[in-house]
């Protein structure tokens, strides 16, 4: 069984090396973007907005990196690899539910259909695909590995799109469009959000 698991996963090794490297590099770039944003003049702090829009982007990149790392490991059993992937997918589903809750709490900015699609619906589908692929990995590894790969790639593309959305929102001065943005007190942090474009 050890050779079977290794041979099945080795056919995907180049794919996961590529996706893992991409996810790691994009995660690093998000840290640079956030550092630059934090150093710029902003009329207000935005903890809910960061937790709703910026942090999930980093989490999606890290999840794609984790999936790539799990499937690059020399597993003796596909069931064990599937268990770790299943936990990753399940944690991702719960995380997106938390993001949905935060999104509904936003006060100054009301997300539109595009925001709901890219920040909650598509990430949910990606994590469900990873979870479903993890469950199907031991009995049907050929199909399961394609499903897992689709989920990981979807997370990377979601992250790229959402990172661009955040950066362009900040670049065009989206903060100035928020109502009463210059009159908010720094101590009232409960109603301060960072909406996307």
- Give tens-digit pLDDT for 101-129: 988 887 777 888 999 999 999 999 999 99
Residue 155 located in a structural domain: yes
Mean pLDDT over each residue of the chain, to the nearest integer: 81
Percentage of residues in the chain with pLDDT exceeding 70? 78
Alpha carbon distance 127, 148 (integer Å)? 9
Is 40 or 91 the better-scoring residue by pLDDT?
A: 91
Domain range enclosing 129: 2-176
pLDDT digits (tens, 9 = 90+) for 30-82: 877 777 666 655 545 556 666 678 889 989 999 999 999 999 988 889 999 99
The answer to whether position 12 is within a domain reads yes
- Is residue 99 included in any domain, yes or no? yes
Instruction: For residue 31, tell me if it sits in a domain.
Output: yes
User: Is residue 190 domain-resident?
Assistant: no
**Mean pLDDT value of segment 80-91:** 97
Could you tell me which of 191, 166, 195 has the C-alpha nearest to residue 180?
Answer: 191
- pLDDT higher than 90, residue 146: yes
Q: Please report the pLDDT score of residue 184 as a whole number.
A: 39
d(CA 85, CA 63): 10
143 found inside a domain: yes
Rounded-to-10 torsion of CA 16, 22, 173, 106: 30
Q: Rounded to whole angstroms, how far apart are CA atoms 107 and 178? A: 10
CA gap 74, 10 in Å, rounded: 9
* Mean pLDDT, rounded, for 137-150: 95
CA count, 13 A, side-chain hemisphere, 178: 29
Per-residue model confidence (pLDDT) at position 42: 53
pLDDT score at 38: 64
Query: How much is the average pLDDT of 131-137?
Result: 97
Residue 197 lies in a domain: no
**Cα(61)–Cα(97) distance, rounded to whole angstroms?**
17
Angle, helices 78-105 vs 55-72, to 10°: value is 180
In a domain, 193, yes or no: no
**114 vs 173 pLDDT, higher one:** 114
Residues 158-167: pLDDT tens digits?
A: 999 988 888 7
Number of domains making up the chain: 1
């Amino acid at each position: 069984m050890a050779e079977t698991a290794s041979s099945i996963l080795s056919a995907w090794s180049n794919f996961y090396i590529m996706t893992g490297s991409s996810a790691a590099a994009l995660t690093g770039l998000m840290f640079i973007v956030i550092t630059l944003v934090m150093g710029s003049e902003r009329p207000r702090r935005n903890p809910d907005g960061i937790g709703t829009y910026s942090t999930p982007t980093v989490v999606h990149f890290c999840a794609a990196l984790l999936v790539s790392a799990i499937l690059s490991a020399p597993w003796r059993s596909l069931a064990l690899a599937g268990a770790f992937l299943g936990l990753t997918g399940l944690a991702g589903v719960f995380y997106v539910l938390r993001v949905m809750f935060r999104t509904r709490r936003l006060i100054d900015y009301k997300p539109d259909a595009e925001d709901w699609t890219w920040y909650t619906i598509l990430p949910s589908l990606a994590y469900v695909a990873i979870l479903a692929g993890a469950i199907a990995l031991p009995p049907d590894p050929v199909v399961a590995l394609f499903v897992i790969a689709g989920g990981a790639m979807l997370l990377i593309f979601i992250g790229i799109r959402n990172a661009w959305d955040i950066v362009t929102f900040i670049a065009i001065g989206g903060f100035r469009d928020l109502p009463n943005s210059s009159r908010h007190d720094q101590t009232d942090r409960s109603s301060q959000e960072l909406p996307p474009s």
